[in-house]
Structure 1
Amino acid sequence: MSQQQRIKIARRIAEEFEDNQIINLGVGIPTLIPDYIEGKDVYLHSENGLLGMGPTPEEEFVNMDLISASKKPVSVETGASIFDSSDSFLMIRGGHVDVAVLGTLQVDETGEVANWAVPGQNILGVGGAMDLVAGAKKIIIATMHTSKDGTPKLLKKLTFPSSGVRKVDMIVTEHAVFEFKDEKMFLIEVLSDITLEELKEITPASYELSTKKLIRV
């Protein structure tokens, strides 16, 4: 997994944002997104109790009392709010988050996501995964196309515990962008020099080419 691939995913997801949206950023690749939002007036939310998160601060301004859900240093925008984590979860559960950008372990071909536990491995806790899957108005998955050992993440059926019955709206990987409609998966963009045949080989999930023009970036 190269940093450039992670940044490519973050940049592409930032294109989906609209002015005045409240956007929750999960752990992993989503934490890169604040550095690549250009020309949009959005409010970045972190589940540990921050609304108005800004880009990564210069080293001289790093304050480890001011961190994201991934425990990475962040800056704050003018007018930002800092509050208790319980209030942050009230925002999520109350339907006040417009977009949640989440990492994942697996996604199936209907858009069901598994992003909190691997069977047989210890976990620290669920965190906000299930709340965000249930509470956000739109869910975008930011993920590498396969795991470090090459195991596919986009599957016909989940083999890890589900994060909830709510389905995701979009997946962005280093290779492609997929959208979901009526629990069907559609390829809408190719983001690398991979061929359609090669993409299918690493994507067990069934998907269709978009009825719109397929974009190759």
Structure 2
Amino acid sequence: MSLDKEELARLIAGDIPSGAYVNLGIGQPTTIARFLDPDSGVVLHTENGMLGMGEVVPAEQADWDLTNAGKQPVTELPGAAYFHHADSFAMMRGGHLDVCVMGAFQVSAGGDLANWHTGAPDAIPAVGGAMDLAVGARQVWVMMTLFTKTGEPKLVPQCGYPLTGKACVTRVYTELATFQLTDSGVQVSRTYGISFDELASRLDVPLSKV
């Protein structure tokens, strides 16, 4: 069976290296915080100025002075630190984050990322800190559904939407498969509820097995 959102978040949490400094993008990636091992030493960063962020909490438990970049209430962990917005972006741009996990509208086989605008006339652009993270984080992972609601692949030969960053994505997690984007092409490291051959038949991107 394919993975549900919580299973996918748990999988990604388990792949984050111990002691890593990590930024979780707005939307689905925020759920990863719930599944991080407290003993892993992973430190979460949010671009609005916090290190040592915990998970999203219900509104009735909220301290509205503590929010993530998506304005969701979060907890603070022991040793948490707060700083100016400009300092936070300096961390992002300066290569101080080990991993960022973001959502995407499209990812190309070459690692190009499109996640801030579909180009539709009525769409509201939402770039936030995505461009800074795309070029500044040491590893850029994407967490997304593999297909749109109308069945079109989101892992594509070339992005058709405005780009957030070029050749920046190293790994793509979806409900059907995990992909490694390498200099030698797109490699499938794991599949969930689908065979490699069926997966290859549904995508226009050449695939190989890890």
State the distance in 1 between where 2:126 and 2:199 align.
33
Q: Contact between 1:167 and 1:183, CA under 8 Å: does it hold in 2?
A: no
CA distance in 2, matches of 1:149, 1:72: 29
Structure 1 runs of 4+ with >4 Å offset: none
Which segment drifts farther, 29-38 or 181-190? 181-190
TM-score by length of 1: 0.88
* Counterpart amino acid of residue 135 in structure 2: A
Gap change, CA 1:183 and 1:86, over 3 Å in 2: farther
Taking the aligned partners of 1:147 and 1:69, their CA distance within structure 2 comes to 25
Instruction: Give the equivalent residue in structure 2 for 1:27.
Output: 26
- Match of residue 48 from structure 1: 48
Q: Paired residues, what number?
A: 207
Deviation at 1:59, TM superposition (A): 5.5
Counterpart residue type for residue 131 of structure 1: D
> In the aligned structure 1, how far is the partner of 2:58 from the partner of 2:117?
34
Aligned to 1:85: 85
Counterpart contact for 2:116–2:125, Cα < 8 Å: no
Residue 157 (structure 2) aligns with: 156
Shift of 1:60: 4.3
Equivalence map 1:60-75=2 (5 Å): 60-75=60-75
Q: Distance in 2 between matches of 1:183 and 1:159?
A: 22
Secondary structure, in 3 states, of the residue corresponding to 1:133?
helix
Deviation at 1:148, TM superposition (A): 2.3
Deviations 1:25-78 (A, max 9, x none): 101111001100124111001111111111233654212332112222210101
**Structure 1 contact 44–51 (Cα < 8 Å) conserved:** yes
Q: Structure 1's 61 and 74: CA in aligned 2 closer, same or farther, altered over 3 A? A: same
2:203 is the alignment partner of 1:203: yes
- CA distance in 1: counterparts of 2:101 and 2:179, whole angstroms: 14
Which AA in structure 1 matches 2:117?
Answer: A
Equivalent AA in structure 1 for residue 157 of structure 2: K
RMSD of aligned alpha carbons = 1.8
Q: 1:137 to 1:189 in 2, by over 3 A?
A: same
Per-residue CA deviation, residues 109-166 of structure 1 (Å, 9 max, x unaligned), is 1111111111124334421111111000011111111122222100111111111223
Return 5+ residue gaps in structure 2 as ranges: none
Q: How far has the Cα of 1:183 moved from its partner?
A: 5.3
The CA distance in 2 between the partners of 1:155 and 1:134, in whole Å, is 20
Counterpart Cα distance in 1 of 2:57 and 2:127? 28
TM value normalised by structure 2:
0.91
**Which residue in 2 is equivalent to 1:170?**
171
**Partner in structure 2 of residue 10 of structure 1:** 9
Whole-Å separation in 2 of the counterparts to 1:109 and 1:124: 24
Deviates more, 1:122-131 or 1:155-164: 122-131
**Residue 134 of structure 2 corresponds to which residue in structure 1?**
133
2:186 corresponds in structure 1 to 185
Residue 94 of structure 1 aligns with an amino acid whose one-letter code is G
Task: Check the 8 A contact 1:111/1:185 in 2, yes or no.
Answer: no
Letter of the 1:73 counterpart? P
The one-letter code matched in structure 1 to 2:203 is T
- Distance in 2 (CA, whole Å) between partners of 1:200 and 1:72 is 38
Does the CA-based 8 Å contact 2:111-2:166 persist in structure 1?
Answer: no
> What secondary structure does 1:69 align onto?
coil
User: C-alpha distance in 2, partners of 1:64/1:201?
Assistant: 47
